[in-house]
Structure 1
Amino acid sequence: MVRNPASALRKYLLGGRIGNSGCLFDRSKDVISHHRIHHGARTLQTDADHAQPDTAIPFRKQLKEEARKRKAELKESAKTKNRSLEQWELTVGIEIHAQLNTARKLFSSASSTFDAAPNTQVAYFDLALPGSQPIFQKETLIPALRAAIALNCRIQKTSKFDRKHYFHWDQPAGYQITQYYEPFAKDGHISLYPHDGIAKEDGDEVRIGIKQVQMEQDTAKTTTTLGDVHLLDFNRAGLPLIEIITQPQIHHPQTAAALVRKIQILLNSVDACVLGMQSGGLRADVNVSVRKRDDVGKGFEYGDVQGLGKRTEIKNLSSFKAVEDAIIAERDRQIALIEGGGFVEGETRGWNIGNPGTVRLRGKEGEVDYRYMPDPDIAPIVISDDLLDHVQNTLGVLPEEEIRLLVADYGVTTKDAMSLVSLDNGYRVEYFRNVVDHLVALTSRDVSAGSSKPQNASDEAVSQTLKLGRLANNWVLHELGGLISSEEHNKLDFTPEGLCQQISHEELATLIHYIETKRVTGRAAKRILVDLFANATEGTKVSLDELINSHGLWFTPLASEEYAAIAMRVFDEKVAQEILDGKEGKINYLVGNMIRLAEDGKVDPVEATQAMRKAIETFKASRG
């Protein structure tokens, strides 16, 4: 086989050019004369006798052109799709199943441990063995009440359990115990705001009604293996759940995902549930329907809303992204089906990540199919006023109020406040408060040692807390967040009291205080934080000061002449002119080069910025 020179291959691969022969191989001119070679979207006309100049389009440029065309096509397709959606109204109702934070199952004394070995936490009743009876575990009512009160529900003083009949291998009794006719909570609502992530079409606030909250038992867990073998784990059978049923009042997929996210944060904040969507402790079913906007008042009735299109239910969505994407896929499927002359069937559908659409699972059962009946073996639950008062008084601060306080008291943004509240089951926000408290104490100690208190000490304290709160927020959210990964051993372990096993709040507060008092630079502090975390992860604890000493990272102030010399070493006339022309942000580029040029811990960004501005002024004066 004839070998081609590297230069010919390079021209072909990087430039899309082919030699005059029209082929990479050394064949006779008779074979390749007037031969057409198809390459991607274009055709190269080759002729050995042609002496035309090489006008081939470089391959990279061709790819860019094709990408630009695809982008334009997608944009036009989106416009067409949006025009179509303007004619249709989407309506969504959601059913959220959340596992309650209790030690026992709903109707047996078996443990509700989530990670126990399969089929080791199972009572006779969980398997529906003949003669076994349900015994309501009263303690399961407490977290359920917390959840319902947080969702602004009206608590029913008397509630009852019913049997919902269906036959599947994960339900050994042939029915599920739930609350259909007389649930323990009704008529709630939850309000969503832009910072919750609702669709912009919903404006500044959207209020979603909660039809009811009911207690019910979970089913066994099914694991499917090769050969269509299904393994059953009855540890999950009988675990206590609440089902939160919303009114069909959601009209945008983004808002639906925001609702599920906020409910998860809310349930965690009142200690009602142990696990979120990411761990399987919360699952969502969505009911989706579409209708022509000019058909309002016609159609079906769901909940308190009339005139809706035929709905389908998508089961067991296990992430916020899955909720949004599944609704979009099903909405588009129903619209295309109706516009093509078909009709939507009431059915249960499934959705998996990566699939372009939903898939049919089975026909949708109606209420009559489940043959609901009151359970004759379980007495009604009677809730006293004393119990309600106790739960209400011990509920604590709800997320919306927590966010408001973080913004008002610590000066953080609403977005950052939401992140603090939602991360690590709400433990991160307690850690943040501990950091700020210690930071304030360190700052106050320095002030007391230096001078007497100012006359407006109260205002000064508030201003100082806001400043330190913003500083601490950046380190607690972003710098700590940059340390961790998805690996199990590389995570931050927070306790409900806001303590951290790897980096204590005292260490982080002291590190931030060192930056504020110019004992270390911000760049050096980031390096120190990485070392602190690495040492703690490896099981070797080294103090903060020992780390700074070992690396020589204490800040040593440079003289103004030294700053000027460093500034001139990295000075760039072109960048300086852009700064003089109004591009102020460019100065950060030059200052960054100054910091990188010097040793760690030697350059103060403020001093460096001042030195660079003087250099720019000198340059301006020299230009006249």
Structure 2
Amino acid sequence: MGRVPVGELSRYLLAGRLSTNGCLTSFRRTPRSRLVGPAPPTLRPLRTFHAAKEQPDPTHQQVQTPPTVPLRKKLKDEAKQARKQGKKKSNADSQTVEGWELTVGIEIHAQLNTPCKLFSSATTSFNDDPNSHVALFDVAMPGSQPIFQTGTLIPALRAALSLNCDIQPVSRFDRKHYFWWDQPSGYQITQYYQPFAKNGHITLLARDGIAPEDGKSVTIGIKQVQMEQDTAKTLAHNDNTQWLDFNRVGAPLIEIITEPELHHPRTAAVLVRKIQLLLSTVDACVSGMETGGLRADVNVSVRRTDDPSQTLGTRTEIKNLSTIKAVEDAIIAERDRQIRELDAGRQISSETRGWSIGSTETRRLRGKEGEVDYRYMPDPDIAPLVIGSDLIAHLKQSLPVTPDTELDKLISYFGLTPKDALSLINIDNGARVEYFYRVLYSVQDMIAADDLDGEGADVKTYAALVGNWTLHELGRLTSSKAGPHGTVDLTFAPDGDCAQVPDAELSQLLYHLYRKHITGKVAKELLMALYLGELEDGVRSAIDTHDLWFKEYSLEEYEALVDEVLEGEDKVLQEFATSAKFPQGKLMFLLGKMMRAGQTERIDPANAEKVIRTRIESLRPSAA
């Protein structure tokens, strides 16, 4: 059989139509037992071969078949329609809804970093055996009295000062009444009327990742910060059985209440992340959202933008959001739900709603309690809390550097990108940036030790290298790219010490890489060996033992390699000689050919490019 024309093959593959010429159609059209006879009927498209057999038209009239749509176009149209109807928009495209204004306020509950509970000397415990650290007051035994533990005040004050709050000289505790199995006394002790801190604020910048609609920065007010008790931990079991662990009852919390000044879901999520970072920086919080040490409740309301005088809409509260992403996703889902309800002519009920990771809708939990339902009242068993100005002044002076100041230093002085600088500060609860500094200053000392002219290297030239390896190369060790080797997570102590990749060894490796004593390929292999514990005597010893030092080509060897690469490239060389604009792409082509032709472990790409560029420049017309 002869070659099938491309056009006929296209019609067969995309539209299921067979050509009237050729052996395949002839085979179906003409039975073997009959060589001559009437013309066969027109074949139907292939996609209808397995349909029910059609009944013959009794009128014997020719039926007009609709034009066949090519399969590729049909699939493309179906995919486009599916995107219009069912595909969820990305969060980046869901920050606003035309004709509507979103308003969000956030309440953040953070567990304080203290050794004891708020009103008893029982130890705060999160991983010990259930009900192993419980005082009489924690379970509301008759006759037991609350005794305020002054040690819980220090981390609470550090948190409030980091949020730029005014510390109140006198504050008081109140009882918030509600009856649930996780609250033995039937009320929670909190600070509703007179909290210990008020009138704070936090500024979010564009580099923090706020919604583009908020511009370069946005400042959110902190209404108040109050101290309060945590509740028991509920463990659900089969047969509708709930077990209670009272180790957590009475654990000291702070509740941070923002003003309702957030209008974009992304910015709300960034606010929670930045507050978590601030609390970690000042050592006020036990842990982050990932480990349950911080939870967020968001209050969401919407109103139409066509009437500026309209009051804020009825708000609903979404409880216990446990991840940064959940904050953004839940706000978007609840905003869209409220808009649908109002568009349908229904009212928004003031209620408490829940959110599950991975869901697309919030769910109703219960009606929203108000101040009357909680029956707030001053706690008669606890004296007012008096905070001296000398304590506040001392804590202000001893606060660590703020994350924004740290970011400015990493970006402007050390030359890191804003994204890398933010990642260094955020991951591993600040331990990764401490690790970065330990490696950086070790590399700096080694560079200074062999600085013969005394001028010193620009810190940005090696800080960027250290930042890249501290973030990305270490990250690859435990990623899928490491294959079966990447099974052990990197662990960092708060001071930056890393058990798997000691900072002293990484700094030695990066120093030699920066000085071009070893190649990047060798450095990555050494890092993997270090991570796997295969370098018993360290990086330097491994380089010496296996003779991994970089032995670069001499200038004469580079030039000989250039001669080899340029042989047979007359057309490319002619383009260099005649082009008014330097053809950079062609230069990269020749450089790649040069890297392949030579020994990669002996070539410095930058030096190789200089040699080949010098040769090419000699072929171009002079500037005169």
Class of the TM-score when normalised by the shorter of the 2 chains? 0.7 to 0.9
Q: Does the 8 A contact of 1:523 with 1:600 survive in 2?
A: no
| Correspondence 1:255 to 2:250 | no
- 1:204 lines up with 2:224 in the alignment: no
Structure 2 residue aligned with 1:436: 440
Equivalent residue letter for 2:145: Q
SS at match of 2:104: strand
Amino acid at match of 2:226: Q
Alignment CA distance shift 1:75-1:321 (3 Å): closer
CA–CA distance in structure 2, aligned partners of residues 101 and 73 of structure 1:
49
SS at match of 2:543: helix
Pick the aligned partner of 1:352 from 356, 369, 391: 356
Give the superposition deviation at 1:374. Answer: 1.1
Distance in 1 (alpha carbons) for counterparts of 2:280 and 2:195: 22
1:267 touches 1:273 (CA, 8 Å); kept in 2? yes
Is 1:399 the counterpart of 2:403 in the alignment? yes
Offset from partner CA, 1:83-127 (integer Å, 9 cap, x none): 992311100000001111111111122221322222222222222
1:553–1:601: 8 Å Cα contact kept in structure 2? no
Counterpart-to-counterpart distance in 2, 1:45 and 1:583: 65
1:375-417 residue CA offsets vs partner (Å, 9 max, x unmatched): 1222211111221122111111111111122223212223322
Query: Does 2:391 match 1:383?
Result: no
Q: Which residue of 1 aligns with 2:333?
A: 329
SS at structure 2 position matched to 1:481: helix
Q: CA deviation at 1:212?
A: 0.3
Confirm or deny: 8 A CA contact 1:157 1:383 kept in the other structure: yes
Going from structure 1 to structure 2, the CA distance change for 1:84 and 1:244 (only over 3 Å counts) comes to: closer
1:601 has 2:617 as partner: no
Q: What is the aligned partner in structure 1 of residue 536 from structure 2?
A: 541
Q: 1:511 to 1:60 in 2, by over 3 A?
A: farther
Structure 1 counterpart of 2:504, from 496, 503, 506: 506
SS of residue in 1 equivalent to 2:110: strand
1:470 to 464, 468, 483: 464
The 1-side partners of 2:76 and 2:583 are apart by: 29
Alpha-carbon distance, 1:231 to partner? 2.4
Aligned: 1:320 with 2:324: yes
- Separation of aligned partners in 2, 1:615 and 1:46: 76
In structure 2, do the counterparts of structure 1 residues 372 and 76 end up closer, same or farther at CA, with 3 Å as the change threshold? closer
Q: Corresponding residue for 1:301?
A: none
Contact 2:96/2:264 (CA < 8 Å) preserved in 1? no
Is contact 1:571-1:590 (8 Å) kept? Answer: no
The verdict on how the C-alpha distance between 1:517 and 1:571 changes in structure 2, with shifts beyond 3 A counting, is: farther
Give matches, 1:337-376, under 5 Å.
Answer: 337-376=341-380
Aligned mate of 1:231, from 221, 235, 243: 243
* Separation (CA, whole Å) in 1 of partners of 2:112 and 2:18: 75
User: In the TM superposition, what are the counterparts of 1:451-530 in structure 2 within 5 Å?
Assistant: 451=453, 453=454, 457=455, 461=456, 464-485=458-479, 490-530=488-528
Question: Contact conserved, 2:190 with 2:229, CA < 8 A, in 1?
Answer: yes
Q: TM-score, normalised by structure 2?
A: 0.82
Number of aligned positions between the proteins: 575
Alignment partners' CA distance in 2, 1:33 and 1:546: 81
Aligned to 1:180: 192
8 Å CA contact 2:104–2:262 kept in 1: the answer is yes
1:192 matched residue in structure 2: 204
> For residues 591 and 33 of structure 1, do their structure 2 counterparts lie closer, same or farther at Cα, with a shift above 3 Å needed?
same
Aligned residue for 2:35? Answer: none
Cα 1:336–1:610 shift into 2, 3 Å: same
Distance 1:234 1:518 in 2: 59
> Equivalences for 1:10-25 in 2 at 5 Å?
none
Report the more deviating stretch, 194-203 or 567-576.
567-576
The letter of the residue matching 2:344 is G
Q: For the aligned residues, what is the CA RMSD?
A: 4.0
CA shift for structure 1 position 271: 0.5
CA deviation vs aligned residue, 1:554-607 (integer Å, no higher than 9, x gap)? 211122146437856998989997997877468667656765776663221213
Any idea what the Cα deviations from partners look like across 1:308-333, whole Å, max 9, x if unmatched? Answer: 10000011111111101111111111
CA contact (8 A) 1:410 1:469 kept: yes
- The 1-side partners of 2:302 and 2:426 are apart by 32
Partners of 1:56 and 1:620 lie apart in 2 by 58
Distance 2:239 2:537 in 1: 53
Cα 1:429–1:82 change in 2 (3 A) is: closer
3-state SS in 2 of match to 1:141: helix
Name structure 2 gaps, 5 residues minimum: 1-8, 20-26, 32-40, 56-61
Which residue number corresponds to residue 59 of structure 2?
A: none
Q: 1:468 to 1:252 in 2, by over 3 A?
A: same
Among 425, 432, 435, the alignment partner of 2:429 is 425
Asked if structure 1 preserves the Cα contact closer than 8 Å seen for 2:576 and 2:616, the reply is no
2:529 corresponds to: 531
CA offset digits 1:205-260 (Å, max 9, x no partner): 11100000001111112222333332222222211111000000000001001100
Query: Which AA in structure 2 matches 1:501?
Result: A
Going from structure 1 to structure 2, the CA distance change for 1:213 and 1:64 (only over 3 Å counts) comes to same
Name the SS of the counterpart of 2:458 in structure 1: helix
Partner Cα distance (1:416, 1:574) in 2:
40
Partners of 1:291 and 1:584 in 2: how far apart?
Answer: 56
Change (3 A) 1:18 1:29: farther
Please tell me whether residue 98 in structure 1 is matched to residue 120 in structure 2: no
